[in-house]
Amino acid sequence: MTLHLDTPSAAQQAAALVGRHFRLADHYEVGREKIREFAQAVQDYHPAHWSEDTAAAFGYDGLVAPLTFPAIVWLQMQRIMFETELSGYDISQILHTEQQVRVHRPIVAGDDLVCECSFESFRQFGAMDMLVIRNLLSDGAGRPLQTARSTVIAQTGVEMTGELAGAVAGVMQTPAGWGDVDRHGAARMAECAQSPTEVADTSDRSGRIRFEDLRVGDRLPEHRVALSRGDLVKYAGVSGDTNPIHFSDGVARAAGLPDVVSHGLLTMGFGAGYLTRWLGDPGAVVDYSVRFAGFAPVPADRNSTIEFRGRVKELDPRERAATVHVTASCGDRKLFGRASARVRLA
């Protein structure tokens, strides 16, 4: 007699993960040249990302990584999760809708990053599944570096059309991960018995803008970023975000998009650079969160332009800190539904 076991649905897989905790089996070593590559990909030219002498003058032990540099590790963890624990979903139909980052200490060259992941919640809205995933990055000694929360939505009520499935199959890179020694990813990720530890904010870096020089309602200088197809390919290669909607006309059209579109985390990285450029210190941002509202289309024959604006929303005299609201737009398209940062001031 043959037993037929029911394969769990994607939603059942996701619901079963709530409350479980995982850790990447291997660490990620932050290299000096990788920091420079990432800084170039997000067009962040603060000298502390490029010059060790400048980083030392700011009090850092090595080149400082841009704030969203850990996207490299977040995306690695996400890929493994969807290959192993959430195989019922098609990753090409996963939409990243919100990202929150808390900085405990800026990441510098030479850090060993250890990534822990926990599933905080799962909800369904019709044909849409929403998952909230928490990542904790620590250094090799177990000291916290960043806590990040990612909200993703998966569309499960429809199947990929033949056109989209064929387009994706033709351009997607074969996935591979650190220590990829078996098809189950057992050497790449292990389930943890405990939740990643909650940690207090220990960042003590201050910006170069004086607290006394700011008023609620002050506006930051506007900043424009030119974005080309080459920039999208560069970021995909550096970060590991190889979703083909960011470089393939065929996949973008088959997915119903107006054109190839920018990565959400790339736009978020531009916004982080906008803030640290204004502040003067790449370690002055201690909290940064973005709810994504749209993508920037990037035509093949010309650049798109993303425009950033900011405004001081609140001032905290006890902590000598400010809350800044940030907007990003591409033409008439609003890219951030809500974005804010808490920053330390001199």
CATH code of the domain in which 167 resides: 3.10.129.10
Q: Is residue 4 part of a domain?
A: no
Q: Is residue 289 part of a domain?
A: yes
The number of domains in the chain is 1
Check whether 75 has a pLDDT greater than 50. yes
Q: Is residue 275 part of a domain?
A: yes
Q: Is residue 3 part of a domain?
A: no
Q: Is residue 266 part of a domain?
A: yes
Q: Is residue 14 part of a domain?
A: yes
- pLDDT at position 175, please? 40
Q: Is residue 44 part of a domain?
A: yes
- Mean per-residue pLDDT over the chain, rounded: 86
Percent of the chain with pLDDT over 90: 70
Give 196-200 contacts, CB < 8 A, sequence gap 24+. Answer: 196/21, 196/116, 196/117, 196/118, 196/134, 196/135, 196/136, 196/147, 197/136, 197/144, 199/104, 199/136, 199/144, 199/147, 200/104
Closest to 83 measured CA to CA, from 208, 199, 182: 182
Task: Give 79's pLDDT tier (boundaries 50, 70, 90).
Answer: confident
Q: Is residue 335 part of a domain?
A: yes
- Cβ pair 150, 135 in contact under 8 A: yes
- Cβ pair 70, 137 in contact under 8 A: yes
In which domain, by residue range, is 128 found? 10-191+200-344
Q: Is the pTM of this model over 0.75?
A: yes
